[in-house]
Amino acid sequence: MFEVPRLLQLKHMQGLPVSHSEIELSLSARNIRRLLSFQRYLRSSRFFRGVTAQNSLYILDDDYNGQAKCMLEKVGNWNFDIFLFDRLTNGNSLVSLTFHLLSHNGLIDHFHLDMVKLRRFLVMVQEEDYHSQNPYHNAVHAADVTQAMYCYLREPKLAKSLTPWDILLGLIAAATHDLDHPGVNQSFLINTNHYLATLYKNTSVLENHHWRSAVGLLRESGLFAHLTLEERQHMESQLGSIILATDISRQNEYLSQFRTHLDRGDLCLENAGHRHFILQMALKCADICNPCRTWELRDVERKCNLDISPLCDRNSSNIANIQIGFITYLVEPLFVEWARFSNTRLSQTMLGHVGLNKASWKGMLQERSSSEEADPAFDD
Ligand SMILES: [Zn+2]
């Protein structure tokens, strides 16, 4: 175990002098071991600026407050409000939710997981490798996707076929699917010759990085150290293929494969390969399910009712157009096929919310254009 950074941190906290060579040793070791982590880089820079890391010990089970516990009793409901849950858990939604789901589904016992290692793994995922400064790709998004994934895994068709291995894999993939997201897209990384783009040969650059970051944390935490080498390798490679499926630029590839299976009616969930494919599709759905949520709808309506300036007005029109395109070309086609696969109340509810969301965005655009026509200030 490499403990130099912790030693330096302790020295720093206690006001003890830290030598230049210690810092150099720490940095070179960290560079080797934590080469790929943006967030850890930021943490180390915070440390050198004299800002100490947040203490994470308060996330123990007994410290959940009553309301958060109540919410967890309904964690399988589609209207679960992840933002409220995040506030109630003091910003620990991802750790609290994932730990609860693994425990509640008997996976900790089934796989003989060490609770301390599991907590350590989840805390590292949430606090070190998700960037809280990212407006979207942060730990709350990961918690939201994990909760959605759980809802899909509970659907009757899946629930009766999935093995504990599938459920463990699905939940860990969801929790880690955007790990160490730098807050920029693949094009930016390629255009700026970022080392990640070079490393992953300009292909699924972010998703490859999320997967590799997840593998790094799994190994560092030793969560699966008691499994055989073969099982660990199997877990890591399956985790990779599920996370890589979230590359939105490959959506058509997955969708046409899904359609072909549904047209032929040949999906057989006794087949491990088919179950794995469904886990990939489920994570793809969970990742872009925001327009299927009720809170997304409330958010759109709130934005529609805001009295905003012409500049924001134009911004809001751009956002509305982007959202309508996103829903039309990515969300609806995916959820229509998912509803063909699993035609349940949840699927129909999600499709209903997508329709309402799209209509709200369109209504917002129409309102903007009619107010522009009525306002002579726009005639220039
Ligand atoms: Zn995501």
Residue pLDDT, tens place only, 128-159:
889 988 889 999 999 999 999 999 999 999 99
Ligand 1 centroid distance, CA of 208 (Å): 13
d(CA 374, CA 63): 56
| Whether residue 304 has pLDDT greater than 80 | no
Predicted local distance difference test score (pLDDT) of residue 294: 83
The pLDDT value recorded for residue 64 is 57
Residue 70's closest CA among 95, 91, 94, 96? Answer: 96
Q: How much is the pLDDT for 153?
A: 98
Q: Please pick, among 100, 104, 112, 137, the residue that the annotation labels catalytic.
A: 137
Given a cut of 90, whether residue 225 has pLDDT beyond it is: yes
Given this model, what pLDDT does residue 313 score? 59
Separation of CA 232 and ligand 1 centre (Å): 24
Cα 95 to ligand 1 centre (Å): 17
Residue 303 has pLDDT above 50, yes or no: yes
Per-residue pLDDT at 108 exceeds 90: yes
Residue 1, pLDDT > 60, answer no
Examine the residue annotation and report whether 137 is marked as an active-site residue of this protein.
yes
- Tell me how far the alpha carbon of residue 369 lies from the centroid of ligand 1, in angstroms: 32
Q: Is there a contact between 370 and 309 (Cβ–Cβ < 8 Å)?
A: no
pLDDT of residue 346: 98
Cα–Cα distance measured from residue 136 to residue 279, given in angstroms and rounded to the nearest whole number: 23
Average pLDDT over the chain, rounded to an integer: 83
**Cα 7 from Cα 18, distance rounded (Å):** 10
**What's the pTM value of the predicted model, to 2 decimals?**
0.80
Of the pLDDT bands very low, low, confident and very high (cuts 50, 70, 90), residue 298 is low
**How many angstroms separate the Cα of 167 from the Cα of each of 100, 110, 151, 152?**
13, 11, 11, 11
- What integer pLDDT is reported at residue 308 of this predicted model? 46
| Span 31-74, pLDDT tens digits | 434 444 444 444 443 444 333 444 444 444 555 578 899 999 99
On the question of pLDDT at 228 being above 50, the answer is yes
3 state SS of 216: helix
What gap in Å lies between CA 48 and CA 164, rounded to an integer? Answer: 43
Give the pLDDT score at 205: 96
- DSSP annotation of 331 reads I
Q: How far is the CA of 191 from the centre of ligand 1 (A)?
A: 22
Give CA angle at 128 (120, 47), nearest 5°.
Answer: 115
What distance in angstroms lies between residue 9's CA and the mean position of ligand 1's atoms? 32
Q: Which residue has the higher pLDDT, 259 or 380?
A: 259
Nearest-angstrom CA–CA distance, 1 and 13: 21
For residue 149, the CA-to-ligand 1 centroid distance in Å is: 12
| Widest Cα–Cα separation across the chain | 72
pLDDT at 133: 87
Expressed in angstroms and rounded, the spacing between residue 94 Cα and the centre of ligand 1 is 13
pLDDT at 116: 96
Residue 30 has pLDDT above 70, yes or no: no
Q: 171 CA distance to ligand 1 centroid (A)?
A: 13
Token digits of residue 81: 């409000």
Mean pLDDT of 80-94: 94
Give the DSSP H or E segment for 339.
Answer: helix 332-341
Residue 234 pLDDT greater than 90, yes or no: yes
The span from the CA of 325 to the CA of 27, in Å, is: 45
For residue 203, the tally of other CB atoms under 10 A from its CB is 14
Q: Which residue has the higher pLDDT, 103 or 307?
A: 103
Question: How big is the chain by its Cα radius of gyration, in Å?
Answer: 22
Start-to-end C-alpha separation, the chain: 67
Structure confidence at residue 369 (pLDDT):
76
At 37 the three-state DSSP class reads coil
As a whole number of angstroms, the distance between CA 377 and CA 380 comes to: 7
The SS3 call for residue 74 is coil
Question: Which one has a higher pLDDT value, 180 or 311?
Answer: 180
Determine contact, residues 293/145, Cβ cutoff 8 Å. no
Of the two residues 379 and 208, the one the predictor is more confident about is 208
- In degrees rounded to 5, what are phi and psi of residue 3? -115, 5
